Amino acid sequence: MNIPQTSFPRVLIIGGGFAGLAAARGLEKQELQVVLIDKHNYHTFQPLLYQVATGGLEPDSIAFPLRKRFNDVENFYFRLAQVVNINAKNNTVETSIGTLEYDELIIATGSKTNFFGNTNIKKYAMEMKSVPQALNIRSLVLENFEEALLETNLDKRKALMNFVIVGGGPTGVELAGALAEMKKGILPKDYPDLDIRQMKINLIQSSGELLKGMSSKASEKAEDFLIKLGVDVWKNIRVLDYDGALVTTNGEDHFRAETVIWAAGVKGETLTGLAKECLVERANRFKVDAYNKVIGYENIYAVGDVACMQSNQYKYGHPMMAQPAIQQGSLLAKNILAKLNNTKQKPFKYNDKGAMATIGRNKAVADLSKFQFQGVFAWFVWMFVHLFSLIGFRNKVIVFMNWVYNYIRFDRETRLIIRPYKNKNKYSFDKEND
């Protein structure tokens, strides 16, 4: 890997997401050698991926080069690689570019989409966990309208304009709201010779409420906002299968759609090599103690989505969100320094700052630690928090200017098919009707 030997302890961090980045920040400019490995050379601000998918922002607005963040930090090294296996016995990590020894190992690999074992849905549905996946959704949505414009088969045209979003959490709610706003103010201008009224946006939730984990008031208000925007909200319905053309549920309602976006669950992005006993199978997360140490190992830690710190309040670990990841990563950095200096470490205690979700223009819900509010004020708070959380001054400026322009003009300039997407495994509607 061309990383020099040093007398300093080597801390190896796998993953440049919220948790890994927080840990790296806390360890910089210390008497350590910090090595960060990621399969991408950038950090992604995932809460705004849905805006990339719906043409509101370009991907470079929510991504920041990892090397740039640490280019003035001594004894810091970044390597672009895929981690293959952890050899805990020899304190080494095997990657696509070679093997590297470590003194302390931090696993911050985040999460991936959970299809709950349904291979058909995994094969045909769209994911939105990364920038490339968000760009795929953006291209597919626009390509569907281009195809619908030329389609003479009425049933297929409706299927091309029918969008099914599975999962009523923040991702599903925000994506449904963004598509509804496209239908209302953008697509009629782009496709004046296409009856956009035929476009359907379906949000399917398996439980009886949206935004599970937030207050009942936030759930009710979010649903009300979506319905007013024209979204069809389906609750207490479970999606059983999708063959690329037909969405099958456990009820009488089935959906013929060319596009299904799966936002119904996530699971930890674990790595091979550690004992099976330290894995919580339910969410595919590593069991950790109050100091984020993986159970059974003295110098291996897990933070963020891939960590399961069980307690009476969090039976299956903390919410797989940005705040727990950032807080765990920051504290772990302090605890590693304390360990190396033989001083007392602090157990992790989650500071729940609340949750927010935006449903569209002037519409959002916010559950903060002491306050709950909805509507325009919540929308401004949501914008401020997300703008402040972005990495890099340029990103903050570009996102702010995009939001101002989009608000004034009711437009989204980035609805471009830069990289055409068409799933090769896509079920052929025409073949079904032969």
Q: Is 151 designated active site?
A: no
Task: Indicate which residue of 58, 174, 223, 258 is catalytic.
Answer: 174
Three-state helix/strand/coil letters over the chain: CCCCCCCCCEEEEECCCHHHHHHHHHHCCCCCEEEEEECCCEEECHHHHHHHHCCCCCHHHCEEEHHHHCCCCCCEEEEECCEEEEECCCCEEEECCEEEECCEEEECCCEEECCCCCHHHHHHCECCCCHHHHHHHHHHHHHHHHHHHHCCCHHHHHHHCEEEEECCCHHHHHHHHHHHHHHHHCHHHHCCCCCHHHCEEEEEECCCCCCECECHHHHHHHHHHHHHHCCEEEECCCEEEECCCEEEECCCCCEECCEEEECCCEEECCCCCCCHHHEECCCCEEEECCCCEECCCCCEEECHHHEECCCCCCCCCCCCCHHHHHHHHHHHHHHHHHHHCCCCCCCCCCCCCEEEEEEECCEEEEEECCCEEECHHHHHHHHHHHHHHCCCHHHHHHHHHHHHHHHHHCCCCCCCCCCCCCCCCCCCHHHHCC
Active-site residues, by number, are 174
